[in-house]
Structures are given as C-alpha cells and as structure tokens.
Chains A and B, each alone.
Chain A
Amino acid sequence: MSDPTVGPAVPGVVEADVDGEACLHSPTSGEVLMLNQTASDVWFLCDGSLTLTQIVDRLAQTYDVAPEDIASDVAAIIDQFGAAGLLSAP
C-alpha cells in the first residue's frame, strides 16, 4: 500500500502558532480556523516531508501511546485538512 507524504500546506495558507496551537487562514474558503492542541500537533507535521505512517509514529512517541491507537484519528484529522483545502494533494 502506498504511503505518500502529507502536505505541505497549499500556497497562500497563513499559519500562526499561538502558544503551540495553530491558527490558520484558508485562502480558498476565506475562513480562519482555530485548531485544538491535538489537531495543531498533526498540522505542524504536515510539511510535505513525512508520510502518514511517519506522522503517526512521531505523535505516538510524543503522546507515549501505541501507533495503532491513534492512527485512525490522525488520518481523520488529515482528511479534514484536505477537505478544508489546506493541504496540497499527494
């Protein structure tokens, strides 16, 4: 099964880090999105250099949990970023 890299953000997305939480402006929807801590942790890893598996592994290490325990949640968050027009297609 292919495991492409995730991201980076589409051109024009404005990102601000406020105390570790990401605030984003989507140029396509015009919306400002405030991410919670978990979604922010995922977002900051979606820079185009890591695959989904690598992102899950990194977060599992950070949260001290098994990768399989968070894999589906991380994938769902990344899907939401894509649906919001924030991430470049793989």
Chain B
Amino acid sequence: MTSTPQAAGGSSLVVSAMGVSLRLVVDDAELAGVLHGRLQDITSPDAGVPDGRITVAGCGPWHIASVGHSETATTAGAALAAALTAVNLSFVASTKMLAAHAAVVSRAGVVVALAAASQTGKSTLTATLVKRCGWTYHSDEALILPWVDGVPHAYPRPLSLSPWSVEQVGAAGVFDGGETHVTGASLGASSSDVPGKVALLVLVERDDAADGPRIESVSGSEGVAALTKRSFTHFLNPGAMLTTYASLCSHAEVIRLTVGAPSATADALHQYASTRKPR
C-alpha cells in the first residue's frame, strides 16, 4: 500500500483499474486507514499524473466529491460506502476498455466470468467460490477486455456483501451500516493477474421455485446477448464490442447457472469447472 501523509493528518493514495488511475485524498486519518485497507488490491505506486481525483473532506460530516458527483455523509460508515462507490463509479465512467458487469474468477487457470442481473446473488457466489472452493478472485464488478477476445484485466475491488451474504459465506470485513466490504485477501484469495482468456461464461439466474442449483448449456448467441446487455462502454465502439463478444462466446463455453443455496451452487460450479481446460 502506498500512502502519502497530508498536512491535515489524512492521506492520499493512487488506485488503478480498467486502465484508469485515480488519486484518493482523505482528510480523516482513521477513515483513510480503513479505505487503504479495503483498496489494497488496486493500490498503485504513486507515480505520474492520475486521470481523476476523489476527495473525502472533513472528519464528520464527510464531503465526498468526484467528477460529476458529490455527497455528504454523516456517519463514518456512510462515508466509507460513499467513498468506495465514488471510486467505482469513477473507474466505470472513465475507462476506455470494453467492460461489462460481471464477476471474474479462476481456478487452476480456468477463467470463469459470471454475468448476472443485480440481486441475483453474483457477489455471494463469487465470495463463496473464493472462500469455500479456493478460487482466485479477479473482479466482482466487471469483465474488462481490451476490445479483443483477450485476457481480461483484473479489478479486485472489495466485494460488498449484505449481512445475509456475510453469514452464508463466513466472510469478515468492514461493515458500513448496510453492507460489509470484504477484500479478496480476507477471503483467502491471492490477488493476481487473470491467467488466461475466459474459458467459461456463466449466465447466473435466480429462480425462487428451483430446489437447488442447475447448470445447462446455452447457445453462444445467448452469451453475446447477455454481455451486450450488461456492457457499459459499448457506445465507444459497438461494432468492436460485438465482434469481441462473438469471438469470446464462440471459443468459450457458455452455460446458464440457476442458483440455489450459495454453498451448493458454488460446489456445483466448482465441480463443473474442474473438468474444463484453460484457454
């Protein structure tokens, strides 16, 4: 972790992901320490001119400001949540890479992308795969590609888990009053670059009537549709997005995973992926 003491007693650090670097300046020394701990996996050497800046001014209330967004938090937990959100939104708004909402994890070199709508249980499944099954954590936010079907970029920001998810996973982290922010390291995951191209694209779905996890093969075009729907930088080059996702879904296996209980779902996917080969 690289931090620089500031005159006001706080600190600053540079975080990098998605080809974007941001300087985070925090007045409150205690909050700065917590943020540094949560962001340790994306902290970069303090060199060069960052692409953006996020400030957390004050020691209560806290004023969080980034390009295009500012808010005031009245509790330390809310300030933590707002600062982490500002970091994430700044990355998402600034990246020039092809990015789609999805988690990325790997096991034995097999890279798996989990694409899901919100409230489907993606983060809980991701955390369970890492904690319970020993997978490597690369991202819980985005599948980030360099506009070709290449090796994804890692974005190991902390996972934000609900109290229910924390209990299911058995995770430990920093509670902000609503969610608990859990680092990959605290789940036992080594933080590393993604080891290869996506070999398995998992379309994660929830069916409350299902009595357990279910895995089924789906067409590559369903995979393209799912990634296209969840892409947030497609407008930069829609044609390149299409050819990139089409190539990925032609070469990777695409499956639908209907989730059940987190541990059973993780076990099912773990077993399935164990028979696959890296790309």
Which A residues lie at the B interface, using CB under 8 A? 12, 14, 16-19, 21, 23-25, 27, 30, 32, 34-35
* B225 contact from A14, A19, A25, A34, Cβ within 8 A: A34
Interface residue count on the B side (C-beta < 8 Å): 19
With both beta carbons as reference points, the residue of chain A lying nearest to B239 in the complex is identified as A14
What residues on A are CB-neighbors of B241 within 8 Å? 25, 32
- The 30 sampled A-B contact pairs (Cβ below 8 Å) are A14-B238, A14-B243, A16-B224, A16-B247, A17-B246, A18-B219, A18-B221, A18-B223, A18-B246, A18-B249, A18-B250, A19-B220, A19-B221, A19-B250, A21-B220, A23-B221, A23-B224, A23-B225, A24-B242, A25-B238, A25-B241, A25-B242, A27-B239, A30-B235, A30-B238, A32-B238, A32-B241, A34-B221, A34-B224, A35-B221
User: Contact between A18 and B238 (Cβ–Cβ < 8 Å)?
Assistant: no
| Complex Cα spacing A17 to B243, Å | 9
| Complex Cα spacing A24 to B225, Å | 11
| Complex Cα spacing A14 to B247, Å | 13
Interface centre among B220, B228, B234, B239, by most chain A C-beta atoms within 10 angstroms, is B239
What residues on A are CB-neighbors of B234 within 8 Å? 32
With both beta carbons as reference points, the residue of chain B lying nearest to A13 in the complex is identified as B239
Within 8 A of A (CB), among B155-180: none
| Complex Cα spacing A18 to B219, Å | 8
What residues on A are CB-neighbors of B225 within 8 Å? 23, 34
User: Contact between B238 and A19 (Cβ–Cβ < 8 Å)?
Assistant: no
Within 8 A of A (CB), among B244-262: 245-247, 249-250
| Complex Cα spacing A12 to B238, Å | 11
Given A18-B224, A32-B234, A34-B224: 4 more A-B contacts, CB < 8 Å: A16-B247, A17-B246, A23-B221, A25-B239
User: Contact between B220 and A18 (Cβ–Cβ < 8 Å)?
Assistant: yes
With both beta carbons as reference points, the residue of chain A lying nearest to B229 in the complex is identified as A32
CB distance from B121 to the nearest CB of A (A): 25
